[in-house]
């Protein structure tokens, strides 16, 4: 049986610039594309956000940031109308500023 070390075997013969380019290229494969929402989905998101603001309920928000989708669970602290951003406070008292245009999904969270 041949014990091949794969990529490790070839990196010693490559320039550091080439190794960095290969790592960057492999990382680009993990990038996701931002999805566009239609009017019905936007209306549903709006209703859920308004309900959570009115009754001070926690939300589970999926949003697009740095070429990936991230999830935050928390309560809406403030709506910045000028900047079009929601200020969300999570259970660790950290503030997340999320642009409305980057939100992909909003759901009422069961637990806080």
Neighbours of 10 (CB within 10 A): 12
Coil, helix or strand at residue 106: strand
Location of structure tokens 């403030």: 78
Task: Tell me which CATH code domain 39-108 carries.
Answer: 2.30.30.520
For the stretch 64-87, pLDDT in tens is: 988 888 999 999 998 888 998 999
pTM of the model: 0.69
φ, ψ for residue 89, nearest 5 deg: -110, 120
Return averaged pLDDT per consecutive 10 residues of the chain, 112 residues in all: 61 78 80 82 90 92 90 92 91 92 90 65
What span, in angstroms and rounded, lies between the C-alpha atoms of 102 and 64?
5
- Please state the domain extents for the chain: 39-108
């Amino acid at each position: 049986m041949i014990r091949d070390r794969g990529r490790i075997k070839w990196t010693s013969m490559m320039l550091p610039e080439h190794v960095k380019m290969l790592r960057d290229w492999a990382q680009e494969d993990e990038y996701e594309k931002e999805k566009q929402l239609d009017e019905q989905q936007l209306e549903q998101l709006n209703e859920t956000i308004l309900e959570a603001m009115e009754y001070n309920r926690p939300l589970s928000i999926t949003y697009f940031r740095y070429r990936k989708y991230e999830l935050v669970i928390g309560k809406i602290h403030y709506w910045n109308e000028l900047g079009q951003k929601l200020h969300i406070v999570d259970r660790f008292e950290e503030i997340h500023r999320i642009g409305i245009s980057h939100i992909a999904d909003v759901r009422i969270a069961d637990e806080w």
